[in-house]
Structure 1
Amino acid sequence: MARGSRYQRYGGGDPLAPPVDIAEALDAIGEDVMAGYSPERALQEFLRRGGREGDGLDDLARRVAERRRELLQRHNLDGTLDEVKELLDKAVLEERKQLARDAMMDDADRAFREMRMDNLPSSPAAAVTELADYDWQSAEARAAYEEIKDLLGRELLDQRFAGMKQAMENATDEDRAAIQEMLSDLNELLEKHARGADTQQDFDDFMAKHGDFFPENPQNVEELVDALAQRAAAAQRMLNSMTPEQRQELMELSAQAFGSPALMDQLGRLDASLQGLRPGEDWSGSERFDGEEGLGLGDGTGALQDLADLDELADQLSQSYGGARLDDVDLDKLARQLGDQAAVDARRLQELEQALRRSGTLEKGFDGELRLTPKAMRQLGKALLRDVAQRMSGRQGQRDLRQAGAAGDLSGATRAWEFGDTEPWDIPRTITNAVLRTAGEAPGVSRLGAGAPRTSATGGVRLSIEDVEVQETEARTQAAVALLVDTSFSMAMDGRWVPMKRTALALHTLIGTRFRGDRLELIGFGRHAETMDIEHLTALDARWAKGTNLHHALLLANRHFRKHPTAQPVLLIVTDGEPTSHLEPDGQVYFAYPPHPLTIALAVRELDNSYRLGAQTTFFRLGDDPGLARFVDSMARRVDGKVINPEADDLGAAVVGSYLGSRGPRGAGGPSSYGDWFGGRGFWVG
């Protein structure tokens, strides 16, 4: 049997758009993680903000709220009553005109009829009821009155079956009879379903007979009940939203629908069945409409359905419930309420969330919490290192070694140059790369003639950074690096927490990718000190306990140096405060502010031990506290170290630069190296 094809409107946005780019998301998530957010919360915050390509959840939620407010402020629920009153006024006016010009009418009969017109109740519902037995003399008046009954019937049907008002316009008696038959059969089916006595065949027979009334094309009774109950509940909420006077008018008018109470009887029976089958629907809610534009019963019910959809979307976009995922967002409803672009933006966020979870950048640990994977940490570190490289670009100074440009015996292999490389260039390979790269460009000035590679005005090959290859070496100078970062409460209070973490991650990435022979120890020191892996440090929340235990941090750094006796010790200390705590002999922490002389003495003693181990020491002083400046200057002078006073944003470049410049033998650096990069803010001591 040949299989048919189904077509529908494409709703996926631009089919030629590139796949989602997780790099921007990863950078933002990493920033938030380093600021103290959990990875799960950082992911949710990025999804709320959105990226460069489209709106985030907060923007979509704001538009949903604006759409809801617009519906309530634009509309009111008087539409049907206003239409009835307008038709009634037309009927009465046309009848008066006919009575005035009918010369053959008995005067007493005319007077009686005019009296009935004059004494109609002010209530439209009561007036329509009173005129139910009136013998209209005007054909136009009779038509207007009959239109009232037709309008009421169509509006009541439109409340339960969307689009029925238009479909039943100019309906014949046969059309009305078909409606009555459908309602009767529907009620029998639902009542049978409520008893559990129905079968799929009962449903199929019903749809074969009345399927044209149900464009939703339900496949079973449950789907049929769902569609009908949602609409009926919205109709009930509309009634609940009316004033008592409006409800009373409508109930009295409903008896005149199609000129018979039979329709209301069938609809009442239908509503009772649906409420029993779907008690979980909102049958008791209400809204307050304050606008000028009147809504009929069908349109008003549609507006209440729209409001329910908007409330559901607001809940989905808030992602505030347990186990929330972006897959929960109903894209069809979002497109219906806010337009196709909103659905495209939401789909992009869904794809981004899925890509982040699938790409190996986020994983759940043993505790069930989401965390950044080592792969994500490497990606984030590379991004931070690129930022550091940009800040360092154009500054003078190279990594200091005894033999410039060579870090060991050549292995014969070459590779592309990367930031931080100190190996000598492979000149033949570099020139060849440049020639091959420019071979396809338009001919330029060349001594080789037309069609030769583009050259400079002097005839040389034009090099680009991607052309450079360096010679691999078998051995490199090894360094034991201790990065001591202040984790006291003042670092967080003064906005230095995230720059400190960015610096540590950038240095960790540089050493882990380009200087694998070096050994890095990350040491955080607040009231006490501890060694940390990079994942621990980047996820570390701000600590508000007072204390700066440089003594303990130096003890851990010296232990690291002693573990690697053949490596060049490099000591990097990032702090914004003087030492205010130290370790007692029994391992307890002593704290005092202003700093106790013993605290200072113990820190100085351990710094001297670092110096005796051959450590190249650099202090990165954050802030402009004069007391800290005097202390750091004297400490650096004592061990022939140096002091750099960078801005928070330049901290990463300062630390990486100092590492590159200090890794050689003690005293190899100088003012021409990385210490003087920051325009007078960094200076040499000793």
Structure 2
Amino acid sequence: MADPRRRKLRYAYGPYAGGPDPLAPPFDIRSAMDQIGRDVMEGSSPRQALQELLRRGLEGRRGLDDLTRQVWERRRDLQRDNRLDGTLQEVRELLQRALDAEREALGNEDSDDARFREMQLDALPNDTGGAVRELNEYDWRSSEARQAYEDIRDLLGREMLDQRFQGMKQALESMGSNATPEGREALERIHEMMSDLNDLLEHHAAGQDTTDEFREFMDKHGEFFPENPQNTDELADLLAARAAAAQRMLNSMSAEQRAELMELSQQAFGDPRLAQQMARLDAQLQGMRPGEDWQGSGRFRGDNPMGMGEATRALEELGQLDNLAEQLSQSYPGARLDDIDLDALTGMLGEQAGVDARTLAQLERELQRQGLFERAADGTLLLSPKALRRLGQSILRDVAEQLSGRNGQRDTRRAGAAGDATGATRPWAFGDTEAWSVPRTLLNAELRKASGDTRKLDVTDVEIVETEQRTRAAVALLVDTSWSMVAEGRWVPMKRTALALHQLISTRFRGDALQLVTFGRHAQSVELGELVGLEGAYAQGTNLHHALLLAGQHLRKNSDATPVVLVVTDGEPTAHLEPDGEAYFDYPPSPHTLRATVAELDKLSGMRAAFTFFVLGDDPRLAVFMDDVARRVGGRVVTPTLDGLGAEVVADYLKRRA
């Protein structure tokens, strides 16, 4: 008999429908490449485009700019809300409490000694440090006053240690006053630790092997170092960072405050040994770690008074924020996102900031790993052929959506125009004009439904009947690169058009031969990567004549193919090529330039080339000229919108080769 508990363990599998895919990568490579490609086409170098992407961030992820802004806001708030004289203020309050209590006690005495003591109190220096120093040997009449004075010395000692050793202040507070046996015992342990620490650092600075000495030191005094450094160098790094922050705190105070605090430090715990050991430690650390910021300062102007330890940590935090800002700026030579201290970033700005920065670093590594960039011989970063293909796929997909969205328009091609059926089938791709294989398409749909997908028919189900290819085309795409194309916002649409056509031909019509030709003052045949990365430059001239010469060379090289010439321009021909190779420019167009251009059109027309002129803008002179030459060579004139340029060129190409 079957176990009834087993019958309950039934599982069903289906598409995940509970929100974003938890297994999806944290970034979209395709979207990233689209953004990089757009910036490159607008004139940025690939490196600049990559940096701009990292600065902007991705959908749902903050970029470097947002993280940097948050760093500076944190820095601003820290300086705006706080001030550094908290310890001085607390000492002044304790001193005033001690003096008030002592004067009250003396006022209740009727003796010459009491009057003399009152005179002593009245003669105290005006500065707090000098007053505390003068009272070091004073014999207090009031127990409350004596306790307040002892509190001053304990406070100063705890604050000095809190500047340099994490958690020391709280530990000492739990042990009570220095006047108690426990407090005195704790203070002696601290003096011993400071002496051993200075000896260790001195030996290490002298080049001695301190491995064993460091181990003995940590076994004896490890309680004072919860960070658990692993060697003397790590210990020196830790202490130097805090000592430098303490020095920056002093630098940030006024000269009077600084002098007052230095005077008071001699009274820490009523024992000058601590100040002496601290001075020795600072001198050694400055010699061992001169690269720390010992000279910096910060301007604090808030209302919240901070103690010495708290103020030192604030200066240390400012230093960390400055380092993070530099890391996030990526403006120094050899900068990498892996340079960013993710632990510090998370500690300062929260967990999400660390996640965002880590995602950007992963994106940068993934783009490099997938080979989407390559280096030219001169070391510059270029988009790789793989990146150009991905960019072309994305743009061609947009073009396909535009074509499919036309108001009921569709091409009517003769069945079998591409050749006789071979008997094989393959998945449909954009640009295919062959007939569907109905049996294979329906079978694919049923197989998909069996996996749980409820859609009746999807484009991914479609398979077409492969046919023999009967014809091939030689296509020359001539694109205007004169300054007006840049100035009027036609630069990027022109490049997107070239990318879409190149992607279509290289993936669906591999037998066709495409030549890209740019023309400004001169014309030149270019590779796709050159065109995509081409920067707009101010140069007068629209040399269609030269471009047609290069198109003719391409068509003659492929004389067995159907010749197709596609021209994208926004201006009349204003330049032509002279026999000596120099370009002649004149505006308005000279009759000589127009005659040379028309003559070259006639030559290509004699080769039975099919012409389409894509006219951008609304220049009436250009419209008249293009209408005239189109009638002369039997071509077409199309006046697309900028958004529709790519779709018009691709549709015209498909129509020409059908």
Q: Which TM class, normalised by the smaller chain length?
A: over 0.9
Distance 1:571 1:24 in 2: 33
1:243 maps to what in 2? 254
* 1:305 aligns to 2:316 (yes or no): yes
Of the three residues 100, 108, 126, the one matched with 1:93 is 100
**Residue by residue, what CA displacement relative to the aligned partner does 1:191-246 show, whole Å, maximum 9, x if unpaired?**
22222234311221111111111122222211111111111111111111111110
Give the superposition deviation at 1:563.
2.1
Give the superposition deviation at 1:397.
4.5
* 1:383 aligns to 2:385 (yes or no): no
Of the three residues 231, 247, 260, the one matched with 2:271 is 260
Distance 1:551 1:94 in 2: 102
Give the superposition deviation at 1:126.
2.2
1:638 maps to what in 2? 632
Give the superposition deviation at 1:538.
0.8
Of the three residues 134, 141, 145, the one matched with 1:137 is 141
Distance 2:441 2:449 in 1: 13
Distance 1:307 1:236 in 2: 13
Distance 2:377 2:470 in 1: 39
Q: Which stretch of the first structure deviates more once superposed, 17-26 or 573-582?
A: 17-26
Give the superposition deviation at 1:554.
0.9
Give the superposition deviation at 1:99.
4.4
Q: Which amino acid aligns with 1:196?
A: G
**Residue by residue, what CA displacement relative to the aligned partner does 1:431-484 show, whole Å, maximum 9, x if unpaired?**
222333345669xxxxxxxxxx98xxxxxxx43322221101122431111110
Distance 2:510 2:209 in 1: 74
Distance 2:527 2:55 in 1: 30
1:146-157 matches, within 5 Å, as 146-157=150-161
Of the three residues 448, 463, 487, the one matched with 1:437 is 448
**Residue by residue, what CA displacement relative to the aligned partner does 1:233-291 show, whole Å, maximum 9, x if unpaired?**
11111111111110111111111100111111111111111112122222122221111
Give the superposition deviation at 1:107.
3.6
* 1:653 aligns to 2:647 (yes or no): yes
Q: Which stretch of the first structure deviates more once superposed, 171-180 or 365-374?
A: 365-374
Q: Which amino acid aligns with 2:219?
A: A
Of the three residues 504, 516, 520, the one matched with 1:522 is 516
Give the superposition deviation at 1:663.
2.2
Tell whether the 8 Å contact from 1:399 to 1:660 is kept in structure 2 after alignment. Answer: no
**Residue by residue, what CA displacement relative to the aligned partner does 1:278-313 show, whole Å, maximum 9, x if unpaired?**
222221222211111111111111111111111111
Distance 1:440 1:274 in 2: 68
Give the superposition deviation at 1:87.
1.2
Distance 1:241 1:435 in 2: 76
Distance 2:652 2:592 in 1: 30
Q: What is the RMSD computed on CA atoms of the aligned residues? A: 2.0
Give the superposition deviation at 1:427.
1.4
* 1:43 aligns to 2:47 (yes or no): no
Distance 1:476 1:211 in 2: 84
1:28-107 matches, within 5 Å, as 28-99=35-106, 105-107=109-111
Tell whether the 8 Å contact from 1:400 to 1:662 is kept in structure 2 after alignment. Answer: no
1:460-479 matches, within 5 Å, as 462-479=456-473
Unmatched 5+ stretches in structure 1: 1-13, 443-452, 455-461, 665-686
* 1:340 aligns to 2:340 (yes or no): no
Give the superposition deviation at 1:391.
1.3
Tell whether the 8 Å contact from 1:234 to 1:305 is kept in structure 2 after alignment. Answer: yes
Of the three residues 224, 242, 259, the one matched with 1:213 is 224
Distance 2:69 2:117 in 1: 58
Tell whether the 8 Å contact from 1:550 to 1:582 is kept in structure 2 after alignment. Answer: yes
Tell whether the 8 Å contact from 1:405 to 1:422 is kept in structure 2 after alignment. Answer: no
Distance 1:203 1:439 in 2: 69
Distance 2:213 2:260 in 1: 38
Of the three residues 321, 325, 331, the one matched with 2:332 is 321
Tell whether the 8 Å contact from 1:187 to 1:269 is kept in structure 2 after alignment. Answer: yes
Distance 1:30 1:16 in 2: 27
Shift in alpha-carbon separation, 1:581–1:355, aligned structure 2, 3 A: same
Q: Which amino acid aligns with 2:508?
A: R
2:179 maps to what in 1? none
Identical pairs, percent: 61
SS at match of 1:367: coil
Of the three residues 416, 419, 426, the one matched with 1:415 is 426
Tell whether the 8 Å contact from 1:238 to 1:301 is kept in structure 2 after alignment. Answer: yes
Tell whether the 8 Å contact from 2:26 to 2:359 is kept in structure 1 after alignment. Answer: no
Shift in alpha-carbon separation, 1:544–1:202, aligned structure 2, 3 A: same
2:115 maps to what in 1? 111
* 1:426 aligns to 2:431 (yes or no): no
Give the superposition deviation at 1:625.
0.9
SS at match of 2:37: helix
Give the superposition deviation at 1:119.
4.9
Q: Which amino acid aligns with 1:78?
A: D
**Structure 1 consecutive aligned stretches of length 4 or more whose deviation exceeds 6 Å:** none
Distance 2:294 2:200 in 1: 22
Q: Which stretch of the first structure deviates more once superposed, 589-598 or 639-648?
A: 639-648
Tell whether the 8 Å contact from 1:398 to 1:661 is kept in structure 2 after alignment. Answer: no
Of the three residues 570, 591, 594, the one matched with 2:588 is 594
Q: Which stretch of the first structure deviates more once superposed, 15-24 or 552-561?
A: 15-24
Q: Which amino acid aligns with 1:131?
A: L
SS at match of 1:168: helix
* 1:364 aligns to 2:371 (yes or no): no
SS at match of 1:471: strand
Tell whether the 8 Å contact from 2:106 to 2:115 is kept in structure 1 after alignment. Answer: no
Distance 1:476 1:372 in 2: 35
Tell whether the 8 Å contact from 2:166 to 2:225 is kept in structure 1 after alignment. Answer: no
Q: Which amino acid aligns with 1:364?
A: R
Distance 1:477 1:422 in 2: 14
**Residue by residue, what CA displacement relative to the aligned partner does 1:392-416 show, whole Å, maximum 9, x if unpaired?**
1232444565x33541121111112
2:190 maps to what in 1? 179
1:578-589 matches, within 5 Å, as 578-589=572-583
Distance 2:300 2:225 in 1: 29
Q: Which stretch of the first structure deviates more once superposed, 379-388 or 624-633?
A: 624-633
SS at match of 1:569: strand
Of the three residues 170, 173, 197, the one matched with 1:166 is 170
2:4 maps to what in 1? none
Distance 2:412 2:552 in 1: 23
Distance 2:585 2:33 in 1: 39
Distance 2:592 2:409 in 1: 39
Distance 2:217 2:163 in 1: 21
Q: Which amino acid aligns with 1:497?
A: W
SS at match of 1:169: helix
Distance 1:321 1:262 in 2: 44
